[in-house]
Structure 1
Amino acid sequence: MHYKKFLLSISFLCFLFSCNKELKTTFLDTNITTANNKLVEINVPKAAGNEQIASQINSEINKTIIAVLQIGDQDAIVFQTVEESITAFNNEYNAFNKDFPDVSQPWEAQVDGELMHQSPEVISIAITSYVNTGGAHGITHISFLNFDATTGKRIENSHLIKNKDAFKSVAQSYFKDAITEEDILFEPDTFQLPANIGFNEEGIILLYNTYEIAPYSTGIIEFTIPIEKVSDYLTFNGS
């Protein structure tokens, strides 16, 4: 009887181990391009492991890249793959160059991805893009993508935080240390959380892109709050 119980315990532990192993997501550095691409450079992590989890993570990464390469109305995106978007970006430039041959500056797009944090609970990925379509300067934009590590589903900011008021109070104090009053476009009493919130190895990182709350000259504003300062207010503690 004891022997059977021992075997059952071993079998259960093996089952748990195999499940955890199956759900473990790894990331490979990948470069995405096309045969005639001359303007776009893309280097992003690609999820591997459990097929369903990896597929959902990769789909969200690809959607972000496709949006970066979209010329014009973001609501008019029709491309299904990153490769289609790369081709379209090159074609748009070729058409522009044909109409305005005296404009010598070529377009360019650079997209880089980074795995910021991975825990049994949450995965955070940063997508940094630089796009210049012939203007006075290009635009750098960073997007944080957070995923439930057990399902691969995207976690919206509203689901990262379970006590928004308390979290905002802590975040505001760190925000004040990160900027000067003249930098911001809203007053301290109208403080708002940024569009980008994610996890890194030091805690939870908040990032305001260019133009989000300050003029272009200010650039990107970011700061990190140690996880122990806000863990009680978060749905995922990031550990």
Structure 2
Amino acid sequence: MKNLITILSFGILLFSCNKKETQQTSTSRSDSTETKKEFVIDSVRVQDSLQVAKTLTLSFEKQTLVFPSITNKTVLDSIYKPAGISASDYSKKSLTEVLEKLKKESLKIDDSNDYLPEFKQTWDEVSGMKLISHQNDVLTLQYSGSGYSGGAHGYYFENYKTFDLENNKVVSQTDIFKNPTDASWDKILKNHFDEQEQKEMLLVDKIELNDNFYFDQNKITFVYNQYEITAYAAGVVYITLNFKDIKDQLKPEFLNRFNVK
């Protein structure tokens, strides 16, 4: 009888241990299936051309990114403002309608013949958005464009914006630097002006920080478009600063938020 009781007790203990182990395994499996919401990016492109006269063809092309994962209206307004786009919502359908409207305006026929070129030309308008990076709720985008509408030459530009999706804001100079207007920035930027040919085409005596930049954990690059600080022939100017060289100029909260090394 004593042996029977001992066997039954052992069996109950073994069943309890197995049940507990099964519950722990089930819980672990449940945790592993929880994944972070996927960040989705799509795009819309509209393009067309129209011959408005024997010597003139108008061409239009505009591409924009679509962000179904971003729902904050303020952030979305800030994302599309540099692209010249404003809408009540930024769904793929709405953005397509906006781009079609912009295309129609760009290819509108002018009844006046005063502007017609003597020789055949294509006047074009091209612009687009590009993803530079998305990591740790930090989104960096490039806005670029080019065009020609007569004259000696066309134009080209590159603009960059970084968005802090955790705090729903655009990252600006004042979020990064203790004093963005410090006079020492002119010397720092000129010392990192690597392209000597571009440097010889400077149009300004003093280079200042601007809000056209992109960065990673190690460095920040400031972008200056044609005529901003140099002559047209110099093209777009890129000045890159390593964070380790200007660490005393950086805000502690910026270092922590963006894991700057």
- Per-residue CA shift, 1:49-77, capped at 9, x if unaligned? 2x414x5555444332227xxxxxxxxxx
Higher relative contact order structure (alpha carbons within 8 Å, sequence separation ≥ 6): 1
In structure 2, the CA distance between the partners of 1:109 and 1:166, relative to structure 1 (3 Å rule), is: same
Alignment of 1:142-153 (within 5 A): 142-153=158-169
Structure 1 residue 124, shift from structure 2 partner: 1.1
Of 165, 184, 203, the residue aligned with 1:185 is 203
Partners in 2 of 1:111 and 1:61 — Cα distance? Answer: 15
2:232 equivalent to 1:216: yes
Partners in 1 of 2:50 and 2:170 — Cα distance? Answer: 33
In structure 2, the CA distance between the partners of 1:225 and 1:42, relative to structure 1 (3 Å rule), is: same
2:157 equivalent to 1:138: no
Partners in 2 of 1:105 and 1:96 — Cα distance? Answer: 18
2:130 equivalent to 1:118: no
Contact kept in structure 2, 1:32 and 1:83, CA below 8 Å: yes
- One-letter amino acid of the structure 1 residue matched with residue 150 of structure 2: G
Structure 1 residue 210, shift from structure 2 partner: 0.4
Partners in 2 of 1:140 and 1:170 — Cα distance? Answer: 27
2:64 equivalent to 1:44: yes
5+ residue gaps in structure 2? 1-19, 52-57, 86-96
2:81 equivalent to 1:66: no
2:242 equivalent to 1:226: yes
2:45 equivalent to 1:28: no
Contact kept in structure 2, 1:119 and 1:149, CA below 8 Å: no
Contact kept in structure 1, 2:226 and 2:232, CA below 8 Å: yes
The TM-score with structure 2 as length reference comes to 0.63
Deviates more, 1:104-113 or 1:24-33: 24-33
Partners in 2 of 1:90 and 1:60 — Cα distance? Answer: 27
In structure 2, the CA distance between the partners of 1:116 and 1:98, relative to structure 1 (3 Å rule), is: same
Which has more helix, going by share of residues? 1
In angstroms, what is the RMSD of aligned CA positions? 3.9
Structure 1 residue 163, shift from structure 2 partner: 4.3
- One-letter amino acid of the structure 2 residue matched with residue 40 of structure 1: F
- Per-residue CA shift, 1:158-216, capped at 9, x if unaligned? 334344349937842553334465322233xx331134111258632111100001111
Name the SS for the 1:158 alignment partner. helix
Contact kept in structure 2, 1:124 and 1:147, CA below 8 Å: yes
Partners in 1 of 2:66 and 2:234 — Cα distance? Answer: 32
Name the SS for the 1:137 alignment partner. coil
Name the SS for the 1:86 alignment partner. helix
Contact kept in structure 1, 2:173 and 2:210, CA below 8 Å: no
- One-letter amino acid of the structure 2 residue matched with residue 237 of structure 1: F
Residue matched to 2:16: none
Alignment of 1:104-115 (within 5 A): 104-115=120-131
The TM-score with structure 1 as length reference comes to 0.68
Deviates more, 1:175-184 or 1:218-227: 175-184
Q: Which has the larger radius of gyration?
A: 2
In structure 2, the CA distance between the partners of 1:157 and 1:87, relative to structure 1 (3 Å rule), is: farther
Partners in 2 of 1:146 and 1:137 — Cα distance? Answer: 31
- One-letter amino acid of the structure 2 residue matched with residue 87 of structure 1: K
Structure 1 residue 230, shift from structure 2 partner: 4.3
